Amino acid sequence: MNFETRIKNLSEIVAKLEKGDLTLDEAMELFEDGIKITKECTKMLDEAEQKVAQLIRELDGSVSEIPFIRQD
């Protein structure tokens, strides 16, 4: 699964949980799935950030890390 698919699945889980018509067991299972997907997405974002940092190079070949600022 790619990042976008995981985010879509996570959004669907959140919608189901917010609806509030699940049994406790169903809600717990979805919550666990959501946590797993969140960890996978975080790992993917961390790896992407590392790749970006490696690609940002100065003319002399040194690497400059520029903080990534999210704009919500």
Domain boundaries of the chain, sorted by first residue: 3-55
Largest CA distance in the chain: 60
pLDDT higher than threshold 80 for residue 57: no
Where residue 20 falls among pLDDT bands split at 50, 70, 90? very high
Give the integer Cα–Cα distance in Å for 63 and 69.
18
CA of residue 46 relative to chain centroid, distance = 9
Classified as helix, coil or strand, 65 is coil
8 vs 67, residue with greater confidence: 8
Residues 6+ apart with CB under 8 A from 44: 3, 6
pLDDT higher than threshold 60 for residue 59: no
Question: In this structure, what token pair is assigned to residue 14?
Answer: 């959140």
